[in-house]
Amino acid sequence: MSKPILRLFWKPTLVLLALTSSLAALPLVDRFFEDWEGPSSAHFSTRTPSGARVLFNVPQGAVGDGRTLQLELPPNPSSGPGGGPEVSTRNRCLYGHFSTRLKTVDTASQPKAGVVTGYFTYFNNNNQDHNANGLPDNSEIDFEWLAAQPEVVYMTLWTDYRTADASFRRVGRAVNLRTGQILYTCYSEAFGQCQTLAGPEAEPTVIPALPGYNSATEFYEYGFDWTPTRVTWWIKNPDTGRKLVLWDYRGPAARIPSVPAYYMTNVWYTSGWYPPGMPDAIERPKGPLSAFVDWTLYRPFSRVERARRPPSSH
């Protein structure tokens, strides 16, 4: 599809200098490891709309230290991320290694509940346009899971989003980890569109299955490595401890976020996003539903690390 050319070549040097200057003055998050054992967090703030709860130091026998963060979505929540519980870093992050160990919302008691668990970075003030493509910047890197489909992982890169008309720029991939099937890898500029990607934008082309994978019944370690030239999503195989790369995106720089973003985890009700072939899986939750986080880590990359390939395994 054609892209807007508004301001695309308008004083690019000044745009770059302005961006560099603003980032240099911005307080960014330093390296941290949050195990959620205290009564609060030095790194994260919380948001709890009506009825939602964010609970620290919650007993959980399935984790090493026995304590977790609990994000509880209330019954009958409002639709959209604003209606659910959320934790977010107090300052923004840029390029680095992001990882967590979590268990997504389990809706076995209401299989058609429309619930999303999100682990991601995000920033959008709907005004700035540092990449000068005519759309407000939307710096976002997502892991998301639909509770009605706990075997599938959704991964997305957003660089732009305009609320007024839902114009955006994003690339995305969905993988059924239980079978190893890549459901799609595509670029889109409007909802309902999917321009299939290939080559370095669609690696790896084969993903080994994790038999029995269910994001809602077991804790898994997930992460992504973000550099100016690539983003690599991965999960650790709980049996071997090795990283399984889900997507090693190396596309045009314009499709990779370059604006610092908050580091977040949330749970929310969706009234419009459902798994393919399950249009009725958008029921409003009838009772409280929770996701659990064992720990969360961030390590910023040095300039040298930003320029080289993120490790695929260790």
| Residues 130-179: tens digit of each pLDDT | 887 878 889 999 999 999 999 999 999 999 998 888 889 999 999 999 99
- Could you tell me where the beta strands, DSSP code E, fall in 163-242? 167-176, 181-188, 195-196, 220-226, 231-236
- The domain that holds 102 is classified in CATH as 2.60.120.200
Tally of domains in the chain? 1
State the average pLDDT over residues 45-68: 92
Residue 8 has pLDDT above 80, yes or no: no
Residues 6+ apart with CB under 8 A from 214: 150, 151, 178
Copy the structure tokens of residue 179.
């079978």
Does 255 map to a domain?
A: yes
Does 164 map to a domain?
A: yes
pLDDT digits (tens, 9 = 90+) for 102-128: 999 999 999 999 999 999 999 997 778
Residue 79 has pLDDT above 90, yes or no: yes
Does 298 map to a domain?
A: yes
Does 21 map to a domain?
A: no
In the prediction, which pLDDT does 21 show? Answer: 37
**Are 171 and 157 in contact, with CB atoms under 8 Å apart?**
yes
State the average pLDDT over residues 257-278: 96
Task: For the chain, give the longest Cα–Cα distance.
Answer: 57
Return phi, psi of residue 282, to 5°: -135, 30
Residue 11 has pLDDT above 50, yes or no: no
Does 11 map to a domain?
A: no
In the numeric block, the tokens 């957003």 are attached to 158
Does 24 map to a domain?
A: no
Copy the structure tokens of residue 15.
């745009």
Does 135 map to a domain?
A: yes
In the prediction, which pLDDT does 20 show? Answer: 36
Structural domain that includes position 210 = 29-307
DSSP-assigned beta bridge partners for residue 245? 234
Does 10 map to a domain?
A: no
pLDDT digits (tens, 9 = 90+) for 20-56: 334 445 789 999 999 999 999 999 999 999 999 999 9
- Specify the pairing of strand 181-188 against strand 243-249: unpaired
- In this prediction the pTM is 0.89
In the chain, pLDDT over 90 holds for what percent of residues?
Answer: 77
